[in-house]
């Protein structure tokens, strides 16, 4: 018998507000075509794999020592990358990094949210935002989007004025719907927000819209831009997320971050991956072209497709998305049921993966269309 196997979670003295909740759960299934977690489908380039391997070998000699707690070299490299990508000069002290942008977001909620405080987001959006709010005991308010899932700045401002949240979450491009928020709308939201605005730009590299990083100098006490190496950078397994903000924001996060949270191995691997940014990000244009191709083909099959600036598409027309999801899976394609009535989400893959997805879509259209 498994020691302790006879009891279940109900037998534990769990926090009352966590009882009955479900963990974040994209199924990790062994399927040929996995288009469910918005990863970059292309393998890391051979040069990157060699560089990561050699970098890890070099730092392995120091594994008896704790890592650089402040990850200065990595943050300097990230500041260089993000500064070049956004056209805004950034210093090392503008950047903070953690194990995935999920950890970045959690640190932000620990420092600026918490018991007695409120965070507001625009639903549907990234499902981890309310889950991290719940874990940090931050009250969560879901404000609405337009019918087409885009963000209406005037409605958003009204929600901000009504709820006066300590933190506003804006995702651009939005997951799972795909639209970017224009700079002018971001400026309107920032002006209205009484506290922090977290701009989650996990898919920023896929969008032609300018980054909110351009507004940092204008709103230094409010704006935090969160980014990740999990998507365009093809580094989801490396777990590296980061943010850009005023140096004082980074100082504030030191109060809640665990010491040595970024291992020697993570820091070395992420720096090596950044040295190959040009090669990895070379896939972005191909993925954007494929996004257009897949969107057109889905439309041709009769599925309404939501406009996307990211590396995934939300498409609709399903009476029963769960049933359609299973039908895709039976066809060897894993997509995502994000819980939006009538819709499913598919990541843009390689051309071959997208062909497999479109073939499966033909069958799904014939059965459920
Ligand atoms: N933000 C958004 C909008 C996302 O979609 C994701 C990943 N699905 C994340 C943040 C977190 O990614 P990671 O922790 O891998 O950086």
Ligand 1 neighbourhood includes 202 CB (under 6 angstroms): yes
| pLDDT value for 369 | 61
Asked if residue 71 belongs to a domain, the reply is yes
Domain match, 262 and 148 both: yes
pLDDT at 23: 86
Ligand 1: distance of its center to the CA of 100 in Å? 7
Summarize pLDDT for 136-184 with one digit per residue, the tens. 999 999 999 999 999 999 999 999 999 999 999 999 999 999 999 999 9
272-317 pLDDT, tens per residue? 999 999 999 999 999 999 999 999 999 999 999 999 999 999 999 9
Asked if 18 and 61 sit in the same domain, the reply is no
The number of domains in the chain is 2
Where does a domain end: 257, 277, 297? Answer: 277
Are 19 and 89 within one domain?
no
Asked if residue 346 lies in contact with residue 315, where contact means CB atoms within 8 angstroms, the answer is yes
- Asked whether residue 218 falls in the same domain as residue 357, the answer is no
Are 75 and 224 within one domain? yes
Tokens at 314, concatenated: 């939300």
Please identify, among 256, 277, 298, the residue that sits at the C-terminal boundary of a domain. Answer: 277
Cα–Cα dist 212/224, whole Å: 9
pLDDT digits (tens, 9 = 90+) for 327-342: 999 999 999 999 999 9
27 and 66 housed in the same domain: no
108 pLDDT above the threshold of 90: yes
Q: Is 126 in the pocket of ligand 1 (CB under 6 A)?
A: yes
Pocket residue to mutate for ligand 1, from 39, 98, 101, most atoms within 8 A of Cβ? 101
First-residue to last-residue Cα distance in the chain: 48
At 195-206, the pLDDT tens digits run 999 999 999 999
Q: What is the CATH number of the domain that holds 64?
A: 3.40.640.10
CA distance 287 to 293: 10
Phi, psi of 275 (to 5 degrees): -65, -20
Give 11-50 pLDDT, tens digit per residue.
Answer: 999 999 999 988 887 788 899 999 999 999 999 999 999 9
Q: How far is the CA of 202 from the centre of ligand 1 (A)?
A: 6
| pLDDT bracket for residue 119 (50, 70, 90) | very high
In 41-99, beta strands by DSSP E: 95-98
The response to whether residue 238 sits with its C-beta less than 6 Å from ligand 1 reads: no
Q: Is the CB of 102 under 6 A from ligand 1?
A: yes
Nearest CA to ligand 1 atom 12: 101
User: Is 208 part of a structural domain of the chain?
Assistant: yes
Token pair, residue 162, equals 């009504």
Domain that holds residue 298: 9-45+279-368
Domain end, chosen from 277, 308, 336, is at 277
Query: How buried is residue 348: exposed, middle or buried, by Cβ count under 10 Å (0-12/13-18/19+)?
Result: buried
Model pTM score: 0.97
Q: Has residue 3 been placed in a domain?
A: no
Query: Does residue 2 lie within any of the structural domains?
Result: no
For residue 124, cis peptide bond before it (omega within 30 degrees of 0): yes
């Amino acid at each position: 018998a498994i020691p302790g196997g006879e009891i279940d979670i109900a037998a534990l003295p769990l926090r009352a507000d966590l009882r009955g909740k479900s963990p974040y759960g994209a199924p990790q299934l062994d399927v040929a075509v996995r288009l469910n977690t918005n990863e970059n489908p292309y393998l890391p380039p051979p040069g990157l794999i060699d560089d990561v391997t050699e970098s890890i070998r070099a730092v392995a000699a120091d594994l008896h020592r704790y890592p650089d707690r402040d990850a200065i070299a990595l943050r300097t490299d990230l500041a260089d990358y993000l500064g070049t990508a956004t056209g805004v000069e950034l210093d090392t002290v503008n950047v903070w990094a953690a194990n995935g942008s999920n950890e970045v977001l959690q640190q932000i909620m620990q420092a600026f949210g918490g018991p007695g405080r409120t965070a507001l987001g625009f639903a549907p959006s990234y499902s981890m935002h309310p889950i991290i709010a719940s874990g940090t005991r931050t009250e969560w308010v879901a404000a609405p989007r337009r019918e087409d899932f885009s963000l209406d700045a005037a409605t958003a401002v009204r929600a901000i004025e009504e709820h006066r949240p300590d933190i506003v979450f804006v995702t651009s491009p939005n997951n799972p719907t795909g639209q970017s928020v224009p700079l002018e709308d971001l400026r309107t939201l920032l002006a209205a927000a009484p506290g922090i605005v977290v701009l989650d730009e996990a898919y920023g590299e896929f969008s032609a819209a300018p980054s909110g990083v351009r507004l940092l100098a204008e709103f230094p006490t409010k704006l935090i831009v969160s980014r990740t190496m999990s998507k365009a950078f093809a580094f989801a397994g490396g777990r590296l997320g980061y943010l850009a903000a005023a140096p004082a924001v980074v100082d504030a996060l030191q109060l809640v971050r665990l010491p040595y949270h970024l291992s020697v191995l993570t820091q070395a691997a992420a720096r090596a991956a950044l040295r190959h940014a040009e090669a990895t990000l070379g896939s972005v244009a191909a993925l954007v072209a494929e996004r257009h191709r897949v969107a057109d083909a889905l439309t041709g099959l009769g599925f309404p497709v939501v406009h996307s600036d990211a590396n995934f598409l939300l498409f609709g027309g399903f009476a029963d998305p769960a049933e359609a999801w299973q039908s895709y899976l039976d066809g060897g394609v894993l997509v995502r049921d994000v819980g939006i009535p009538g819709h499913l989400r598919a990541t843009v893959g390689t051309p071959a993966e997208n062909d497999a997805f479109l073939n499966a879509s033909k069958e799904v259209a014939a059965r459920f269309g």
